[in-house]
Amino acid sequence: MARAHPAPVVTATLPLSPPPGPRQQRLLLVLREAGRELSARELHQLLEAAQEQQGLATVYRGLKLLQRAGLVRCRRLVNGESVYAPLERDQHHLTCVQCGSSEPLPICPLGGSGLGLTKVLLQGFQPLFHTFEIHGLCARCQQLQAPGHG
């Protein structure tokens, strides 16, 4: 019977592609062991230190594969560089438009409520991950920008 389902939320998706090759698995492992988001260059350097070097171009290629496989998420910092993290680490940020600092924000807009991200809205689009960010002024930059600075 077609009962009124609580709208099957379509995010937190299943992997699409077959498991990636060994190079990509190494990338994923390093990302999982790191406690934070890593840039492509950091990843490249960490691999180098671990005697498993991969050319920077290869790192970028691998990260793109992992994204398409639904294993890695990515966001761009204000300074232009992209940072990567495992998909299962669901983390968002407060980012200062002035100094670019970015600190964790312990909420997720899709977390509890579900938000009703139905297939109707997605219309054939296959979601892999989401980004949510609040941009504004950090406490320090507010003071520096304040009119009466003393």
- Which residue carries 């997720």 as its tokens? 108
- Of 93, 94, 98, 127, the one binding Zn ion (CB under 5 A) is 98
Number of chain positions touching DNA (CB under 7 A): 20
Does 45 contact its own copies by CB under 8 A? Answer: no
Tokens, residue 13: 């998706």
Residue 104 interacts, among Zn ion, its own copies, DNA, none and using kind-specific CB cut-offs from 5 to 8 Å, with none
Show the beta-strand stretches assigned E in 3-105: 38-39, 72-76, 82-86, 92-96, 102-105
> Is the Cβ–Cβ distance between 74 and 89 less than 8 Å?
no
The b-or-e profile of 84-119 (16+ CB within 10 A means b, else e) is bbbbeebebbebbeeeeebeeeeeeebeeeeeebee
Neighbours of 15 (CB within 10 A): 14
Residue among 42 and 90 whose Cβ is closer to Mn ion:
90
For residue 79, state whether it binds its own copies (rule: CB under 8 A): no
Contacted entry of its own copies, DNA, Mn ion, none for residue 55, CB cut-off 5 to 8 Å set by kind: DNA
Question: How many chain residues touch its own copies (CB under 8 A)?
Answer: 46
CB 104 within 8 A of CB 91: yes
Judged by the rule CB under 7 A, the positions of this chain that interact with DNA are: 21, 23, 39-41, 53-58, 60-62, 64, 76, 79-82
Judged by the rule CB under 8 A, the positions of this chain that interact with its own copies are: 11, 13, 16-17, 64, 67-68, 73-74, 76, 80, 94, 96-98, 103, 105-107, 109-110, 113, 115-117, 121-139, 142, 145
